[in-house]
Structure 1
Amino acid sequence: MPWDEGLAQLMRDDLAAEPVTEKKMFGGLAFLLNGHMVCGIHKGGAMFRVGKPNEAEALAVPGASPMMFTGRPMSGMVDCSDEACADDTRRGRLMALSLGFVRALPPK
Structure 2
Amino acid sequence: MAYDDELADRVRELLAGESGVTEQRMFGGLAFLLNGNMALAVSRQGGILVRVDPEDVDRLLASSRAEAAVMGGRTMRGWLRVHATRLRTIELARWVSRGVEFAKSLPGKD
Name 1:9's counterpart in structure 2.
9
TM-score, normalised relative to structure 1: 0.89
Q: Matched residues, percent identical?
A: 36
SS in structure 1 at match of 2:108: coil
In the other structure, the counterpart of 1:95 is 96
1:57 and 1:94 map into 2 onto residues whose CA distance is 14
3-state secondary structure, aligned to 2:70: strand
What secondary structure does 2:106 align onto?
Answer: coil
What displacement does 1:57 show? 4.0
Give the C-alpha shift of residue 106 in structure 1. 0.8
- Which structure is higher in strand share? 1
1:13 Cα offset (Å): 0.7
Shift of 1:91: 1.6
1:61 aligns with 2:84: no
The aligned length equals: 106
Question: Could you list the runs of 5+ residues in structure 1 that have no partner in the other structure?
Answer: none
What is the alpha-carbon root mean square deviation over aligned residues?
1.4
Distance 1:29 1:12, change over 3 A: same
